[in-house]
Amino acid sequence: MLDMKYIRENLDETERRLRTRGGESYLDGFRELDERRRALLKEGETLKALRNSVSDEIGRTKDKSLVQDKILEMREVSHKIKGLDEELNQVDEQLHSFLLTVPNLPHASTPIGLYEKDNVQVRSWGEPQRLPFEAKPHWDLGEDLGILDFERGAKIAGARFTLYRGAGARMERALINLMLDLHTDQHGYQEVLPPFMVNRDSMTGTGQLPKFEEDLFKLVDPDFFLIPTAEVPVTNIHRGEILKKSDLPISYCAYTPCFRREAGSYGKDTRGLIRQHQFNKVELVKFVHPSESDAELEILTGHAEKVLQLLELPYRVMSLCSGDIGFSSAKTYDLEVWLPGQSCYREISSCSTFGDFQARRASIRFREDEKGKPEFVHTLNGSGLAVGRTLVAILENYQQEDGSVLVPRVLRPYMGGLERIVP
């Protein structure tokens, strides 16, 4: 959520910056609602002040017959206050839900542009492999090796679900452990294991709601949602809290499955593991001092990159343009891994800084000094990494001409020493 006062004082500039995301208009109607609200507030509060002082006087008067006329008068005033409050509540509600649908302001360093082609490559690592034989896509490799069973996944649940078997299931688990060990032991994150379902407040805090409900799996009876990313439960760990400055930065990593409806992507990436309703991810989340968030984004992105480097998977880092960053994001780096089976780069991690956008929605604050006003922290997160897509990248990059797949060195201790997956 953007700061209401900031919008009020910088309406045109805010609108201009938001439009770099590509929409038509973002702040139409704000001025009217805001002014209406303040007028109602002023009128109601003046009456309440009157009522308070007169009620006080009535309270101090022993002989109530002396103040009968005042009681009657205040009865009128209270009636009027009630009407004003009702109207104010309506306007408040409108203004609040309006603000909840306004996306974050792009960071000053986010490239301006509307389309994927406007994303900027920041750097790359490793050489995209050119295999000396015809490379297979991972869905063929997975089926031929008997480690990915797409048909059975579809039978058990439906499209976009996969059954992992044997070395495939083992490798998924190995990757999770490798990533968690790296981030906790080497990068200073605390591991957390959060609930995989959350309530509406948590989804609103990180920005999935109210706008993107159709992207979520929702439970019918208790009003719960399956998490689309660990970002949601982990960022909400500190919702409504005032943190100690000395606690910052707070760094969490979490393994969770992620559940996404993928509504609107019918027919896209229907084969293989790329786009699933359920996938595993190790997520990195940070709560930082506002002055540190820019630097922390670089650090966090580096932590995600480290996983790819250890696995010796070639990748590139893209700075997403203003039209391509997410609703809550101010700046996003995507890590794209090279997939020789499909001869393309695919997103495997997305690292974002949200500035104070999520912190304001979720009310996560700290004090600069003991007596200072609470200020909003900055939040960041990034995949470190998407596990299913990492497995895809390994299968395609480590495939051999005979159809077997070598296990990356760093992963072997996590797989009981297995060096090669064979049919």
Partner RNA sequence: GGAGAGAUGGCCGAGUAGGUCGAAGGCGCUCGCCUGCUAAGCGAGUAUACUGGGAAACCGGUAUCGAGGGUUCGAAUCCCUCUCUCUCCGCCA
- What residue ranges bind RNA (CB under 7 A)? 4-5, 38, 41-42, 44-46, 48-49, 51-56, 58-60, 64, 71, 74-75, 77-78, 82, 89, 242, 365, 370-371, 373-374
Contact 165, 348 (CB under 8 A): no
Nearer of residues 250 and 300 to RNA, judged by Cβ = 250
In angstroms, what is the minimal distance from the CB of 207 to RNA? 19
Name the minimum Å distance from CB 216 to RNA. Answer: 19
The count of other CB atoms within 10 Å of the CB of residue 65 is 6
CB of 88: closest distance to RNA in angstroms? 10
Which residue number, 60 or 117, has a Cβ lying nearer to RNA? 60
Nearest distance from C-beta of residue 193 to RNA, angstroms: 13
Which residues lie closer than 8 Å to 214 by C-beta, 6 or more apart? 261, 263, 264
Nearest distance in Å: CB 226, RNA: 17
Nearer to RNA, 51 or 165 (CB): 51
Closest distance between RNA and the C-beta of residue 401, in Å?
A: 46
Tell the smallest beta-carbon distance from residue 10 to RNA (Å). 15
Kindly report the backbone phi and psi dihedral angles of residue 213, in degrees, each rounded to the nearest multiple of 5, phi listed first.
-60, -35
Taking the least distance from each CB to RNA, the nearer of 338 and 366 is 366
Among 128, 182, 186, 167, CA closest to 313? 128
When the beta carbons of 158 and 222 are compared against RNA, the nearer one is 222
Angstrom distance (rounded) from CA 210 to CA 207: 7
At 359, list the tokens: 């912190």
Task: Please identify, using beta-carbon distances, which residue of 89 and 400 lies nearer to RNA.
Answer: 89
Shortest gap between Cβ of 92 and RNA (angstroms)? Answer: 9
Closest approach of RNA to the CB of residue 5, in Å = 6
Shortest CB 27 distance to RNA, Å: 16
Nearer to RNA, 125 or 196 (CB): 196
Torsion, CA 45, CA 51, CA 54, CA 58, rounded to 10: -150
Smaller CB separation from RNA, 89 or 97: 89
Closer to RNA by CB, 30 or 150: give it: 30
Nearer to RNA, 188 or 372 (CB): 372
- Cβ distance to RNA smaller for residue 71 or 344: 71
Q: What is the 3-state secondary structure (H, E, C) of the chain?
A: CCCHHHHHHCHHHHHHHHHCCCCCCCCCCHHHHHHHHHHHHHHHHHHHHHHHHHHHHHHHCCCHHHHHHHHHHHHHHHHHHHHHHHHHHHHHHHHHHHHHCCCCCCCCCCCCCCCHHHCEEEEEECCCCCCCCCCCCHHHHHHHHCCEEHHHHHHHCCCCCCEECHHHHHHHHHHHHHHHHHHHHHCCCEEECCCCEECHHHHHHHCCCCCCHHHCCECCCCCCEECCCCHHHHHHHHCCCEECHHHCCEEEEEEEEEECCCCCCCCCCCCCCCCCCEEEEEEEEEEECHHHHHHHHHHHHHHHHHHHHHCCCCEEEEECCCCCCCCCCCEEEEEEEEECCCCEEEEEEEEEECCCHHHHHHCCEEECCCCCCEEECEEEEEEEEEHHHHHHHHHHHCECCCCCEECCHHHHHHHCCCCEECC
Smallest distance from RNA to CB 301, Å: 31
